[in-house]
Amino acid sequence: MEICVHGLTVFVRGTSRSTQRDLIIEIDEPDLIGDAYQLALRLSQHIHRDGVIIKPGETVQQGMWILKFIADGDALIANEFDEKSGEFKRGVSRALTVLREQQVLCRVVGSKFNPPRLDQNIVITEGVESGDGFRGIRYSAPDHMSGWWLLTARYEGADSAKRSLCIKDLILLRPDVIPFLAIEKGMGFALPFTWQEE
């Protein structure tokens, strides 16, 4: 198996399995080429070591983001979930940027990297959607939930003051929360984030 870089495209070629098509990973920002190469390496190891065959239309989780491989001739091109349209679009720049930001933040705060899935739910209280500042805390939760609770100063403990929202919908309203969502259970954050020196 060979990984080749040409411009802003990374190719995974010569897979040892005759039924595995070559993979094409495209980015639109030069500073993501290393991240795209690492993605290609992870995918090639997954194919070679685990015996996985990525098929046309198959999705792969990349951190909290979703990639879908679309057939183009003899190759499969990586497409990423576009939160604005709800569709998949060619390229992986957004997925790699989110992954990088979340991993850096986790290292900075001393957290394990534990991204939720985009289809999981999050608990929010009044004011989160309209832009109020809030505190976020992550608890253990059932599989359909991310474990995140986002609580504004308006929240006074009433069950009627909180509701569940899909992460896909939340990130459209509050993209500023995305870097924090991979923080592990038992940890939290506050937005707006301010640095205070003591």
The whole model's pTM is what?
A: 0.88
Radius of gyration of the chain (CA): 19
- Residue 28 in contact with residue 91, Cβ under 8 Å? yes
* Euclidean distance between CA atoms 7 and 178, whole angstroms: 29
Asked whether the CA dihedral 66, 43, 95, 122 is positive or negative, the reply is positive
CB 79 within 8 A of CB 90: yes
Over residues 29-69, the pLDDT tens digits come to: 999 999 999 999 999 988 888 888 899 999 999 999 999 99
Task: Give domain limits for the chain.
Answer: 2-101, 111-191
How do strand 75-81 and strand 22-26 relate by DSSP bridges? parallel
pLDDT tens digits for 10-28? 999 876 555 789 999 999 9
